Amino acid sequence: SAHASIAELFVTDLCDESGAEQECEAALQSAFKSSEGSAEAHYGAANLRFIQGRKDEAKKHLGRSFEIIKKQTAEIPHIGGNSRGEGGYEHTYNFRLRVTELCIEMGEFEAASELIDRLLEEDNR
């Protein structure tokens, strides 16, 4: 979602700007209002909470993002794609890779391993 992308900008490229954290929070709130089931919004919240040192909240949001991605990728046939986007996936390869990286940073190795396996499987098609 656009709101989740804006939030990500405030924790990366615009992190040194005055009010960046508040802008990020506002963008995440808008993202959740648009879609509570957004993997991108949950990833953004996980990333921000992790940066803030609020690790329990970060793990909750990261787990939700992972579950949304996992459910979505389980629905994709192994041969061919569909109209949902890159390779038939709703979420881009790069987004799923960023979720994997955050899983590793946060010590969520089982989730990271599962995502990596799915990404490798996709690469091998």
Q: In the structure, what pLDDT confidence band is assigned to residue 98 with cuts at 50, 70 and 90?
A: very high
Decide if 68 contacts 42 (C-beta within 8 A): yes
The tens digit of pLDDT for each residue in 14-34 reads 888 899 999 999 999 999 999
- Count of C-beta atoms within a 10 Å radius of residue 83: 5
| Phi, psi (degrees; rounded to nearest 5) at 83 | -85, 10
As given in the structure block, the two tokens for residue 65 are 């993002």
CA distance 123 to 20: 36
CA atoms within 13 A on the CB side of 83: 0
- pLDDT mean across residues, the chain: 86
